[in-house]
């Protein structure tokens, strides 16, 4: 879960930094430039975090947090954790969401800082138990019944316990007293039992759902088969730990949609793993073996996920184009320990590199990634966001090598972020990702999920620093002939000059390329005045940033390096004081009206 460590004054800054280092997914929010996320209105910022479901660790007085979020308190089941931490780290107090992560978060804070977690929830103190927040892998069928049952246990009143599935140790070892002769009861079951005001039903996630389907089948057909099958066998969806299948189905829309519909993780197995389950299959198929290399998909995937002591509780059921089966394991199934997830590649543009110019979506995707791939400098620019990640650093010229590495890692089932500066789709890595997919070098790459998130491009950053030179039609041209013949570059320059576009020049020079920029200058001078403004923006958003404006006729190759973006104005681009802008025509519009 994403966590905001909110620091409001310098006295708590050391504590806040220690927490950012210690807590996974934590980012520093504050009112000065030292923070990753800077804000001015404290109450408004805290309310925004709370509404977004982001955990809040406030290194401040508890009252500040309480007053800020109080107007938003509606549903305790949906509240993110909110804890207050003393500025010296001596205490951590869960204020909200105690049974939804705040108590655990307070304990983690206390352990990191050597302080104390001031846990106040009665169940945790008296029994070390919280029925409304059961352990991972246990789900409540009727959460409203948890409160009276918990109250009875705390009052040492008799509560019944019926165990039909799962290990009840987390209940029976807690010190709670259970007695069959009681008005209130807890039932642990895989049945689709609704429970009642007097019976709390808890489902242990001991079931694995295996599915198979023909390529391109409608998701509704698979969803209907699964729901009908579970209902026919009186199995609760809450007792299902994961949806499993053959790895060839990792990009199958019907399977992906089923996982979303059920709110369950997807896990995939290779054909060899599923083939090893053949002796346990009820319906082995030579046809399936000939097609995919194993004698069954749905039954085999369910059994593989549920473990060596599992049994099929639902043999293969089928519709016209889909199949499903259910296996029950001996214990709660941890989806993260079976098969592998569908890999995901986030192609992330981080802008020029400063925190303030990096989008929240880009930060989130990097935070969620396990592996970071990119040019070493770009990964360094991530700062604390790279903490705890596996870095795969590459040199500046290894574009294809690094993209292949990112795709290979994602194909292994990992969550990968491929990091670019600027915008990943503008002279950057996103294009190469899709080009390699198009070449078809590795079928496994096509089965991963891909997200491309935008970043502030160098041309946008340069334009903003200079004023508004992109106020009218513009284009971008790379002067590097490494991938594009110079003749094509020259044609584009001629067309841009003749069309009177504002032109952003990328890759203007390198150590070996010194002639491209003067030739571009001369082509543009053939169509616009000598004093056309040219913006030279270097190291944008980073230490050593410089932005200056020269006349086109005075532009020299020594003015520029590979860290410089050059924006050449059109014939209409003007200067006003130190600013540069290109009018869009509002003056003529005003005259017409």
Average pLDDT over residues 138-158: 87
Average pLDDT over residues 222-249: 97
Q: If you average pLDDT over every residue of the chain, what do you get?
A: 91
User: Three-class SS of residue 46?
Assistant: helix
How many angstroms separate the Cα of 443 from the Cα of each of 36, 249, 256, 274, 410?
39, 12, 18, 20, 12
Does the pLDDT of residue 243 top 70, yes or no? yes
Q: Could you tell me if residue 362 is left (phi over 0), alpha (psi between -120 and 50 degrees) or otherwise beta? A: alpha
> Alpha helices of 155-285 — where are they, by DSSP H?
169-172, 219-232, 253-262, 271-275
So what's the pLDDT on residue 383? 80
Average pLDDT over residues 35-54: 87
Q: In 3D, which of 225, 300, 288 has the Cα closest to residue 255?
A: 225
Report the first-to-last Cα separation within the chain, whole angstroms. Answer: 55
How many angstroms separate the Cα of 383 from the Cα of each of 15, 26, 301, 378, 455?
18, 13, 41, 10, 17
Better pLDDT: 104 or 279: 279
Query: Does 347-456 carry CATH code 3.40.1010.10?
Result: yes
CB-CB neighbours of 362 under 10 Å: 24
- pLDDT, tens digit (0-9, with 9 covering 90-100), for 496-518: 999 999 999 999 998 788 899 99
Does the pLDDT of residue 302 top 70, yes or no? yes
So what's the pLDDT on residue 158? 83
Does the pLDDT of residue 102 top 60, yes or no? yes
Average pLDDT over residues 394-398: 86
DSSP 553: G
So what's the pLDDT on residue 40? 87
84 has which bridge partners?
58, 93
Does the pLDDT of residue 287 top 60, yes or no? yes
% of the chain exceeding 70 in pLDDT: 96
Class of the CATH domain delimited by 3-120: alpha beta
Q: Output the pTM of the full model.
A: 0.79
**Which of the four pLDDT bands, split at 50, 70 and 90, describes residue 127?**
low
Query: Does 208-337 carry CATH code 3.30.420.180?
Result: yes
Average pLDDT over residues 565-569: 96
* Domain layout of the chain by residue ranges: 3-120, 138-204, 208-337, 347-456, 459-581
Rg (CA), the chain: 30
* CATH assignment of 459-581, among 3.40.50.1980, 3.40.50.720, 3.30.950.10, 3.40.50.740: 3.30.950.10
So what's the pLDDT on residue 586? 66
> Do 245 and 211 touch, CB atoms closer than 8 A?
yes
Does the pLDDT of residue 568 top 80, yes or no? yes
């Amino acid at each position: 879960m994403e966590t905001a460590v909110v620091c409001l004054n310098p006295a708590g800054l050391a504590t806040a930094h220690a927490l950012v280092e210690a807590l996974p997914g934590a980012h520093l929010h504050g009112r000065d430039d030292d923070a990753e996320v800077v804000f001015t209105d404290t109450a408004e910022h805290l309310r925004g975090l709370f509404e977004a479901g982001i955990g809040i660790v406030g290194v401040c007085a508890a009252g500040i947090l309480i007053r800020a979020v109080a107007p938003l308190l509606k549903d305790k089941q949906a509240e993110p954790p909110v804890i207050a931490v003393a500025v010296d780290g001596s205490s951590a107090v869960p204020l909200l969401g105690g049974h939804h992560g705040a108590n655990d978060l307070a304990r983690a804070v206390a352990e990191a800082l050597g302080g104390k977690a001031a846990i106040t929830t009665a169940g945790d103190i008296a029994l070390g138990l919280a029925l409304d927040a059961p352990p991972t892998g246990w789900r409540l069928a009727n959460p409203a019944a948890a409160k009276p049952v918990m109250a009875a246990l705390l009052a040492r009143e008799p509560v019944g316990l019926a165990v039909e599935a799962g290990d009840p140790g987390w209940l029976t070892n807690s010190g709670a007293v259970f007695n069959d002769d009681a008005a209130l009861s807890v039932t642990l079951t895989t049945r689709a039992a609704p429970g009642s005001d007097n019976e709390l039903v808890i489902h242990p996630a001991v079931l694995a759902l295996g599915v198979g389907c023909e390529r391109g089948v409608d998701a509704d057909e698979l969803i209907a088969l699964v729901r009908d099958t579970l209902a026919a066998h009186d199995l609760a969806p809450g007792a299902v730990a994961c949806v499993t299948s053959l790895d060839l189905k990792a990009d199958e829309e019907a399977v992906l949609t089923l996982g979303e519909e059920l709110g369950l993780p997807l896990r995939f197995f290779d054909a060899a793993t599923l083939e090893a389950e053949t002796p346990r299959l009820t319906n082995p198929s030579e046809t399936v073996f000939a097609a995919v290399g194993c004698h069954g998909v749905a039954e085999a995937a369910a059994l593989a996920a549920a473990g060596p002591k599992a049994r099929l509780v639902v043999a293969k059921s089928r519709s016209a184009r889909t199949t499903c089966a259910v296996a029950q394991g001996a214990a709660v199934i941890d989806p993260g320990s079976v098969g592998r997830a569908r890999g995901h590649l986030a192609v992330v543009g981080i802008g020029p590199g400063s925190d303030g110019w990096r989008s929240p979506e880009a930060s989130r995707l990097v935070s969620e990634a396990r592996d970071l791939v990119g040019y070493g400098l770009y990964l360094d620019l991530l700062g604390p966001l790279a903490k705890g990640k596996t870095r795969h650093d590459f040199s500046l010229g290894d574009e294809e090598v690094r993209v292949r590495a990112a795709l290979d890692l994602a194909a292994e089932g990992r969550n990968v972020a491929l990091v670019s500066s600027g915008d990943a789709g503008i002279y950057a890595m996103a294009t190469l990702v899709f080009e390699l997919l198009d070449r078809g070098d590795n079928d496994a790459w096509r089965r991963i999920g891909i997200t491309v998130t935008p970043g502030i491009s160098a041309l946008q950053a340069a334009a903003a620093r200079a004023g508004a030179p992109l106020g009218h039609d513009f284009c971008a041209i790379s002067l590097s002939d490494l991938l594009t013949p110079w003749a094509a570059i020259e044609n584009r320059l001629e067309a841009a000059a003749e069309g009177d576009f504002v032109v952003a020049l990328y890759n203007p020079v390198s150590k070996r390329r010194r002639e491209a920029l003067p030739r571009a200058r001369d082509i543009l001078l053939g169509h616009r005045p000598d004093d056309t403004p040219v913006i030279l923006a270097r190291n944008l958003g980073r230490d050593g940033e410089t932005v200056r404006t020269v006349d086109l006729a005075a532009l020299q190759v020594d003015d520029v390096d590979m860290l410089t973006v050059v924006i050449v104005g059109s014939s209409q681009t003007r200067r006003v004081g130190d600013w540069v802008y290109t009018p869009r025509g509002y003056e003529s519009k005003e005259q017409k009206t």
